[in-house]
Amino acid sequence: MNEIRETGCSREGEIHCLTIIGQIEGHQLLPDDTKTTKYEHILPLLAAVEESPDIKGLLILLNTAGGDVEAGLAIAELIAGMRKPTVSLVLGGGHSIGVPLAVAAGTSLIAPSAAMTVHPVRLSGVVIGAPQTMEYLSRIQERVISFVTSHSHISREAYIRLMQNTDVLANDVGSILSGAEAVSCGLIDRVGTLSDALTVLHGEIAKAAKETLRKN
């Protein structure tokens, strides 16, 4: 039986388990009673995981509720740029910035009971009603679309349709996808649970080890 401890040590190989939950907190501080993941804590951790000779793979557990787009994209870019095997598992809900975080991993899974919410980028607080504001939002949106479509199997057209859908969310624009729907549209690789995610990750670790031996 594989025992997962704090650093993710298991019999088949050493992994690190990273949880990204609640809202992604960026430069603006969120209220103390809001569950957050602080991106300035995650960024150096990812760099340390990548450099550690004792860690062979990364398991990312996601249950997000939106948050700072810039901070979320920063985390997603680091995950996507890692050489070590990475697997993400969406649990509960993957809201807004949780989508690029999920697809950033080498393999993405979603629990059968989980869902993903896809909607356009929004601004909160005071917003200046000027053409420049709309241009700014459009540029951010384009970065999200480009990242998601380049790290998953969903087409640009299909992803934009999901974002602009008005039939699902009563007071908003966007789509809520069940686990199976997220897979069928190409956004997530497969439906699975924790054991499935670990099996995939251990398989990728073994494959990477064989490739290293072959090169040496």
Catalytic residue annotation: 96, 119
- Look up residue 58 and give its amino acid: L
DSSP string for residues in 62-76? EEEEEE-HHHHHHHH
Tokens of 38: 């602080």
- Is residue 59 within 8 A of residue 87, CB to CB? The reply is yes
Tokens of 145: 């679309």
- Look up residue 62 and give its amino acid: L
**Alpha carbon of 209 to those of 16, 56, 178, 205, 216: distances in Å?**
17, 9, 35, 6, 11
Pairwise CA distance, residues 170 & 212, whole Å: 52
